Amino acid sequence: MASKSELQALLNTPIELARNTYLHFYNGGKLRAEFVGEKAPKDDFRSEEWIFSTNRTLTPGRPNPPTKGISRIRLPGGKRVLITELLEAFPNETIGPVHYARFGAKLGILVKIFDVGANAHIPVHWHPSPEFSKKHLNSPYGKNEAWVVVGTRPGAKAWIGWKHDVKKETFRKWMEAQDVATMRKHMWEVKPKVGDVIFLRDSKVHSLGSGLCILEPQEPTDWNILAEWKGYPYRREDGACGLDWDTALEAAEFTAMPKDYLRNYVMRTPQPIRRDDGNVEYDLVPEEARKYFWLRRVIVQGKLAIPNDRGFYCVIGIGGEGQLQGPWGAKKIRRGKSYFIPVTLPAYEIVNVGKKPLEVVCCYPPAVQ
């Protein structure tokens, strides 16, 4: 626990987000560890890190203590405390009264990085819609998400959506037989590369193969309905979010995903919204995503002014070296370093201090109507 005075001292600067990884059910973590600058990176099942989160994670087949998944912030002396301590003590100063009235002392968004290791994959699965979650999971959130590819290994690929309509009964036979090869054969195979952005709506069946390191902003849940259990440290019934499988299958979409929808909507073309002296700011997700989260990429050659009218958000260094400069002085930003920008923080500048372009991604909560 931190004192109120220790927490208050954070409010006038970007707030450093500390390491927050844990043991997962799929192997990986080497590229994640490289991204955040850990020494001796390796695949050790610490495949995910929840960067910006007020959610507890529940990992099938692993211990799930009450604070697992909730982000840590770093106090000036190096002490780490839960981000929820700060939000509960100073909601108006951190997330603002409008967001607080709607969501309470919660971020309303979850941002994580994950890495699928050698000879591993994330199971064929899908995420419920908000409507399904309200009806069956006692939650207002589904799991719409975006993938920003920050690292790959040779042969990296993923499977997204169905090439043709699939009967639910047919899929269930594949699932009960654990016939993953047949599932994948009927799905679109994609080969993401570093810099790619994918926006994935709820209900779409998908899987990720070995070699993908992804920065993932999403709705603030850990709802994953897992159609694979063979070879994982959980049982068949553990993959259905506590539901029976008849109900869990209702959350999936079994109609075909048109190829042009995959190529021109799911796989994003970043849209430049601001150019300033060689610096560029891009929107990364479609307008409809604003009700779930918002996402921008900034490429800085020199320096770029960031206004103070954007609410609160998380800024994550993707490449290069730089600083966040404001009345507080300067905070270092580099690949793998992340900050919480409180709603009351004044305008500042992102400044490149290296030889290569400085790239950051800013992850925003849902728009409050």
Q: Rounded to the nearest 5°, which phi and psi values hold at 162? A: -95, 140
Given a contact cutoff of 8 angstroms between Cβ atoms, the answer to whether 236 and 61 are in contact is: no
Q: Which of 316, 359, 304 is nearest to 340 (CA)?
A: 316
Q: Tell me the pLDDT of the chain (369 aa) as tens digits.
A: 889 999 999 999 999 999 999 999 999 999 999 999 999 999 999 999 999 999 999 888 889 999 999 999 999 888 899 999 999 999 999 999 999 999 999 999 999 999 999 999 999 999 999 999 999 999 999 999 999 999 999 999 999 999 999 999 999 999 999 999 999 999 999 999 999 999 999 999 999 999 999 999 999 999 999 999 999 999 999 999 999 999 999 999 999 999 999 999 999 999 999 999 999 999 999 999 999 999 999 999 999 999 999 999 999 999 999 999 999 999 999 999 999 999 999 999 999 999 999 999 999 999 987
Would you mind telling me the total number of residues written for the chain in this entry? 369
Given its phi and psi angles, is residue 286 left (phi above 0), alpha (psi -120 to 50 degrees) or beta?
Answer: beta
d(C-alpha 91, C-alpha 275), whole Å:
33
How does DSSP assign 237-271, residue by residue? GGGGTTS-HHHHHHTS--SB--HHHIIIIIB---E
Domains of the chain: 4-266 (2.60.120.10), 271-364 (2.60.120.10)
d(C-alpha 206, C-alpha 214), whole Å:
14
Q: Which of 82, 103, 78, 77 is nearest to 91 (CA)?
A: 103
Q: Rounded to the nearest 5°, which phi and psi values hold at 79? A: -65, 140
pTM, rounded to two decimals: 0.96
Q: End-to-end alpha-carbon separation of the chain, Å?
A: 34
Pairing of strands 122-126, 110-115: unpaired
Task: Write the CA distances from 334 to 132, 152, 221, 316, 321, integer angstroms.
Answer: 39, 19, 28, 8, 5
d(C-alpha 126, C-alpha 252), whole Å:
6
Neighbours of 99 (CB within 10 A): 23
d(C-alpha 350, C-alpha 361), whole Å:
12
Q: Which residues face 272 on adjacent strands?
A: 282
